[in-house]
Amino acid sequence: MRLVLVGPPGAGKGTQAQFLAAHYLIPHISTGDIFRSNLKAGTPLGLQAKTFMDRGELVPDSVTNEMVAARLEEVDAAQGFILDGWPRNVVQAHTLRAMMLTKKTPLSAVLEFSISHEEILSRLLTRAQVEQRLDDKAEIITRRLEVYEEQTAPIISFYRSEGLLISVSAIGSVDEITQRSISALNRVS
**Catalytic site includes residue 123:** no
CB 183 to ligand AMP: min, Å: 25
**Catalytic site includes residue 133:** yes
**Catalytic site includes residue 137:** no
- Which spans of this chain sit near ligand AMP (rule: CB under 6 A)? 9, 31-32, 35, 52-53, 56-59, 64, 85-86, 88, 92, 135, 144
Read out DSSP for 15-75?
HHHHHHHHHHT--EEEHHHHHHHHHHHT-HHHHHHHHHHTTTPPPPHHHHHHHHHHHHTSG
Q: Which of 2, 13, 123, 180 is catalytic?
A: 13
**Catalytic site includes residue 160:** no
| Position 145, amino acid | L
Tell me whether residue 15 or residue 189 sits nearer to ligand AMP (CB atom): 15
Q: Which of 97, 127, 137, 160 is catalytic?
A: 127
d(CA 15, CA 13): 6
**Catalytic site includes residue 71:** no
| Residues 6+ positions from 122 with CB-CB distance below 8 Å | none
Point out the residues that are catalytic. 13, 88, 127, 133, 144
